[in-house]
């Protein structure tokens, strides 16, 4: 018990340090190349929630920019996600804004999202995180010129599960989505019913990443081999096939190996409304963000050294815009 409280105190201090890295968002003065923190009042659940927004270098207030929403995993924060995803550095180079919402947690950490079948107190209390994330998009869109046809979402683990759910329920807001290390459904415990995301409001381009050595959310699905308990997930194949079917993709599949065979890419490109689906399976990779923050430390000659999912995701996003004929009013 003593060790647990020491850990909690350490995480609290760490969260305060991380929070200090972002500047409070002001209506009067915003500089490019900086990350700002803002709080949003969400009336649905009565909680005061926060987010970070990164404004790219060279920002001009009159120029509409794409917006990438990046959703952290369980037990993480917006600050942590910005650090290891490195989307802010990519945004400075490519010229888009990045929104990092914060989940529900204790004292600013141990945060989770209600993705339907997972996770934590957010799911137990049925927090409307789809509504919250939509509200943060609207808030950023009210403060800055956002290109409404180029809003994208990325999520890791529990955040990837929320990304799947958001793409199904509010895909009208998105041009494309990138879930990572996630599943569209499962069973919170053996005594609770199975849950999966609802039928999508429209076809949406999807790019999925998953490590074949993931013990938290395994490729094959089933009970988590890492955390124990009885929580189970749908397989990656079943999750991806759900979107292949809903996006009206033809059976024609293009497969190729990348990074000396360490990455297997499977693509469905003949889909309705240009809503193609891409699956990146990474050999010998676990439940970790596959980006340069981690891969740069791999040994010389390792085929995954400097592999960066953020770069690949942005390349996919750049080729997709929201289809105007299927928009619905907010």
Using the predicted structure, report yes or no on whether residue 327 has a pLDDT greater than 80.
no
Mean pLDDT, rounded, for 209-223: 94
Residue 205 CA to residue 38 CA, distance in Å, equals 29
On the CB side of 86, CA atoms within 13 Å amount to 18
Gyration radius of the chain over CA positions: 19
CATH 3.40.50.1820 for domain 32-326 = yes
pLDDT digits (tens, 9 = 90+) for 153-165: 999 999 999 999 9
Give the residue from 226, 250, 222 showing the smallest Cα distance to 236. Answer: 222
Cβ-contact 154, 163 below 8 angstroms: yes
How does residue 226 score in pLDDT terms, banded at 50, 70 and 90? low
Using the predicted structure, report yes or no on whether residue 107 has a pLDDT greater than 70.
no
Mean pLDDT, rounded, for 209-236: 88
Question: What pLDDT, on a 0 to 100 scale, did the predictor assign at position 193?
Answer: 86
Using the predicted structure, report yes or no on whether residue 15 has a pLDDT greater than 50.
no
Question: What pLDDT, on a 0 to 100 scale, did the predictor assign at position 30?
Answer: 81
Domain ranges of the chain: 32-326
How does residue 94 score in pLDDT terms, banded at 50, 70 and 90? very high
How does residue 8 score in pLDDT terms, banded at 50, 70 and 90? very low
Question: What pLDDT, on a 0 to 100 scale, did the predictor assign at position 67?
Answer: 98
Using the predicted structure, report yes or no on whether residue 5 has a pLDDT greater than 70.
no
Using the predicted structure, report yes or no on whether residue 178 has a pLDDT greater than 90.
yes
Mean pLDDT, rounded, for 170-194: 92
Using the predicted structure, report yes or no on whether residue 120 has a pLDDT greater than 70.
yes
Q: Residues of the chain with pLDDT > 70: what percent?
A: 86
pLDDT digits (tens, 9 = 90+) for 39-65: 776 665 677 889 999 999 999 999 999
How does residue 141 score in pLDDT terms, banded at 50, 70 and 90? very high
Mean pLDDT, rounded, for 165-185: 97
């Amino acid at each position: 018990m003593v060790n647990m409280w020491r850990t909690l105190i350490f995480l609290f201090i760490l969260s305060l340090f991380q929070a200090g890295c972002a500047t409070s968002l002001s209506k009067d003065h915003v500089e490019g190349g900086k990350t700002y923190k803002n709080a949003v009042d969400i009336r649905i659940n009565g909680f005061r929630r926060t987010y970070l927004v990164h404004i790219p270098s060279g920002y001009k207030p009159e120029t509409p920019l794409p917006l990438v929403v990046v959703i952290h995993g369980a037990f993480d924060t917006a600050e942590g996600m910005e650090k290891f995803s490195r989307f802010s550095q990519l945004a400075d180079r490519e010229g888009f804004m990045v929104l990092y919402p914060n989940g529900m947690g204790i004292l600013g950490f141990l945060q989770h999202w209600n993705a339907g079948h997972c996770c934590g107190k957010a799911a137990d209390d049925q927090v409307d995180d789809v509504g919250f994330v939509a509200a943060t998009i609207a808030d950023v869109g009210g403060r800055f010129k956002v290109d409404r046809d180029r809003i994208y979402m990325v999520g890791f683990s529990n955040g990837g599960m929320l990304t799947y759910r958001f793409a199904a329920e509010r895909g009208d807001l998105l041009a494309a989505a990138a879930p990572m290390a996630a599943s569209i459904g499962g069973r919170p415990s053996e005594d609770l019913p199975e849950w999966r995301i609802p039928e999508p409001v429209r076809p949406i381009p999807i790019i999925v990443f998953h490590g074949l050595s993931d013990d938290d959310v395994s490729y094959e699905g089933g009970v988590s081999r890492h955390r124990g308990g009885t929580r189970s997930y749908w397989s990656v194949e079943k999750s991806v096939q759900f979107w292949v079917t809903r996006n009206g993709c033809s059976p024609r599949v293009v497969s190729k190996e990348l990074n000396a065979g360490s990455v297997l890419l499977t693509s469905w490109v003949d889909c309705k409304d240009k809503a193609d689906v891409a699956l990146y399976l990474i050999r010998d990779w676990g439940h970790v963000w596959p980006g340069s923050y981690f891969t740069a430390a791999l040994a010389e000659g390792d085929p995954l050294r400097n592999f960066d999912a953020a770069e690949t995701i942005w390349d996919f996003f750049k080729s997709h815009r929201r289809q105007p004929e299927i928009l619905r009013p907010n």
